[in-house]
Amino acid sequence: MPADPRSDEMETRLVDDLVARARKAQKAYEHGATQDRYDKSALAAAWALMEPGRNQELAGMAVETTGLGNVADKIRKNHRKTLGVLRDIKNSRTHGVISDDPATGITEIARPVGVVGAVVPSTNPVATPTNNVVNALKCGNAIILSPSPAGVTVCEKLLGYMHAEFDKIGLDHDLVQMIPAPVSKVKAQRLMESVDILVVTGSQNNVHRAYSSSAFRIVALCHRLPRSAQGIVLGRLAFHLSRRDLRPDQFWRNDGHRHLGHCRSQARQQDTRGAGILHSGRVPNHH
């Protein structure tokens, strides 16, 4: 049956409302902000998952709803990935003047990009969105998550725990939202077209659709293909990746076991707008 244009219009309006609320919350979050505020917000989001009881509950729910992985490995992965991101961004300045070179007269000032859109895969429905949220809040942004159909329930539970932590420090819930069920390609595409920056982890189809949007983007490629490895592609950069551009590193496979084979681009980001989500273009090696 052909798609109902009235249904598509309703879904589009729903996403537009989410983005409008996120923009309002982000402006208030940025106004009068300090580095301490950004740091505490990132820690609050991380603790929503890293608290052991919640980690166990969310890991079990992720396995049950997606049918992927096992609980013990999910628990380890949730803990290690989130702890690794916190370690990577600790002491990183993401607010105000972050460098001043009198010799060149160049002053580097960090500013948020605004609203982040994050497409989340069913293979990693808890740790990946948590890490995306931590990075976004660390840099003064709001974020809207687009989970996979199988990951909706656990994403809702995760956001509930995050919002409970936000209440303790006076943060607006609208800083971190998600596309509500039922998820659809119409909603996901509208999100990609409406936000300021994209973080897309998942299939080639998701990545290709992300490229069709106009948002400045950092796209995390994680194609589910045999012998494939993850790569990081930084948007609007004038370089092309080849096998010679990549070097071996470590990656996670099978929900918790570390292997050699991860590929990380040696190219350096030249567009400093990327600092708005990931400080100075440094991409934590935990996606």
Tokens of 280: 């100075």
Quote the pLDDT of residue 167: 98
Quote the pLDDT of residue 7: 83
Position 51 in a domain: yes
Position 237 in a domain: yes
Structural domains counted in the chain: 1
Contact assessment for residue 114 and residue 67, using Cβ atoms and an 8 Å cutoff: no
Position 266 in a domain: yes
Position 199 in a domain: yes
Position 100 in a domain: no
- Flag residues of the chain having pLDDT under 50: 221-287
pLDDT tens for 132-171 read 999 999 999 999 999 999 999 999 999 999 999 999 999 9
Contact assessment for residue 162 and residue 45, using Cβ atoms and an 8 Å cutoff: yes
Position 286 in a domain: no
By CB neighbour count within 10 A (0-12 exposed, 13-18 middle, 19+ buried), where does 224 fall? exposed
Q: Which domain holds residue 195?
A: 9-95+110-281
**Pick from 226, 222, 241, 239: nearest CA to 285:** 222
Quote the pLDDT of residue 214: 57
- Assign residue 200 the CATH number of its domain: 3.40.605.10
Quote the pLDDT of residue 17: 97
Quote the pLDDT of residue 211: 63
Write down the pTM of the prediction: 0.75
Quote the pLDDT of residue 95: 93
Position 68 in a domain: yes
